[in-house]
Structure 1
Amino acid sequence: MSNTSNFRSAIRQAKTQSIIGPNVIANALPYVGGGLVLTALGTYGGLGIIRTNPGLFFPTFIGALILELILFFVASNVAQKGNNRVALPLLATYSLLTGYTLSGIVFMALSTKGVGIAGIGFAALGCGITFIAARQIGSNLSEEDGIALTKTIGLGVTALIVVIVGQLLFAMFGVYTPTWLEIGISGLGVFLFAGAAVVDFYILPRTYSNEQYLPAALSMYLTYINLFIFILRLLIALNGRD
């Protein structure tokens, strides 16, 4: 889904413009795929650190997370300006760092009875099936339905972010989310980001020209990474939490 900083702008453009980038998604897909491959490599590296030197993982995780956030805003801004030559290596580095920061939840999934490698494969497959369905639905939405869905998903994701931040703050003080609530939050996240995938196929061709494939790729990449995370969270909550 369009990142939060330009989400409202994207809605306004979609209201007033017809399709301006009919091929932008097709142009973006190779970069989405490349970003996911780099993310997988980053995750593999993070898992190696967890297994061989677990004491080193947490400080490097914090450093990677901070750098990842900085790179997101820098790379997104550069890509929005159409400077693809500069944006591409920044986004590649961002994808690697994202994979490294994902290695914690992937390790948790691998360590959870009933999830394991099969659960990770299921989460990846779920993202793929969502992509196929979202492409069919989102590409054929009417203007009225597309705008309504975009607003609804945007509000839902904003609320979800507030909840996740609240979870993190409570966890810092030793207060953890009970299983039933974690299942509810994770299920909501899966639902919202599946909806966000549909929104992508409606709003991106109305927001970006064919040459603006990198910001479109970043938007789609974020949708599927978050969908993957929430599917894993749901599987872990269903199988492993006390």
Structure 2
Amino acid sequence: MATTSNFRDSIKKAKGQSLVGPNVINKALPYLGGGLVLTAVGTYGGLGMIQSNPSLFMPTFIGAMIAQIVLFFVVRGIAERADNSIALPLLTVYSLLTGYTLSGIVFVALGTNGVGINGVAMAALGCGITFVIARNIGSNLGDEDGLALTKTVQLGIIALVIVMLLQIVLSLFGIFTPSWLEIGISGLGVFLFAGASVVDFYILPRAYRDNQYLSAALSMYLTYINLFVFILRLLIAINSRD
């Protein structure tokens, strides 16, 4: 939900604007990389908790998830005001919390035959390859194509969020997604967030000024974290078929 909110907000700012932050992407990239490294550290800590004290993991996971959601909105507001000295330490905590909440799906992936550490590495590599391709395409999109792609991806992500919320509600009643449908949903998620990575390189220089580089870094960070999650979900679903 936080991802969708951030995506819609960026689109509203970018509509009808020329470049307002031509250097914002380059300034954001070091912070994006640092955030992803901190996320890996948080994930490692979460995996350690699962192995050493599994009964304590779920309460801490829920607490980290709530704190992560609250912190997202706090950080986004501060970063958009370009109060970077305040936003940066909060983004550091946010990245660590995100890593901790990711440890659950990473643990499942590590324990799934056919996925394991190679699958986790493949998901991370897939995000890196997507970044390189998306930067080349998104930076060269014209306004007509850029806005059309942006709107399509936005609507797709909203639909995906609705489907995932429905999954959660049905699971509360003991109704779980069949493997073929999970593969379809995960594949759609990979496709949409790969598209969102292209959109980032088109829309962020039109949505944020150069001094709002932490806002741009947060937007790209959310895109690649979600892409990583959906690649893992897809690999798990494919290798867990009945």
Q: Is TM more than 0.5 here?
A: yes
1:126 aligned partner: 126
Q: Given the superposition, is the C-alpha separation of residues 12 and 48 from structure 1 closer, same or farther in structure 2, using an over 3 Å criterion? A: closer
1:179 aligned partner: 179
Misfit runs of 4+, over 6 Å:
none
1:231 aligned partner: 231
Take 1:162 and 1:13, find their aligned partners in 2: how far apart are those partners?
A: 24
Counterparts of 1:42-61 in structure 2, within 5 Å, are 42-61=42-61
Per-residue deviation, 1:9 = 4.6
Q: Given the superposition, is the C-alpha separation of residues 159 and 7 from structure 1 closer, same or farther in structure 2, using an over 3 Å criterion? A: same
1:32 aligned partner: 32
Take 1:86 and 1:11, find their aligned partners in 2: how far apart are those partners?
A: 25
Matched residues, percent identical?
A: 69
Q: Is 1:192 equivalent to 2:216 in the alignment? A: no
Per-residue deviation, 1:195 = 0.1
Per-residue deviation, 1:11 = 2.8
Q: Is 1:80 equivalent to 2:58 in the alignment? A: no
2:151 aligned partner: 151
Per-residue deviation, 1:168 = 1.2
Q: What secondary structure, in the 3-state scheme, does the structure 1 residue paired with 2:211 have?
A: coil
* 1:134 alignment partner AA: A
Q: What secondary structure, in the 3-state scheme, does the structure 2 residue paired with 1:112 have?
A: coil
Per-residue deviation, 1:5 = 3.2
Q: How large is the Cα RMSD of the aligned pairs?
A: 1.3
Q: Given the superposition, is the C-alpha separation of residues 81 and 127 from structure 1 closer, same or farther in structure 2, using an over 3 Å criterion? A: same
2:115 aligned partner: 115
Take 1:77 and 1:87, find their aligned partners in 2: how far apart are those partners?
A: 9
Per-residue deviation, 1:12 = 4.0
* 1:101 alignment partner AA: T
Take 1:225 and 1:132, find their aligned partners in 2: how far apart are those partners?
A: 16
Residue 138 of structure 1 contacts residue 200 of structure 1 at CA under 8 Å; is this kept in 2? yes
2:64 aligned partner: 64
2:162 aligned partner: 162
Per-residue deviation, 1:14 = 2.8
Take 2:239 and 2:122, find their aligned partners in 1: how far apart are those partners?
A: 14
Take 1:95 and 1:131, find their aligned partners in 2: how far apart are those partners?
A: 19
Residue 119 of structure 2 contacts residue 232 of structure 2 at CA under 8 Å; is this kept in 1? yes
Q: Given the superposition, is the C-alpha separation of residues 3 and 49 from structure 1 closer, same or farther in structure 2, using an over 3 Å criterion? A: closer
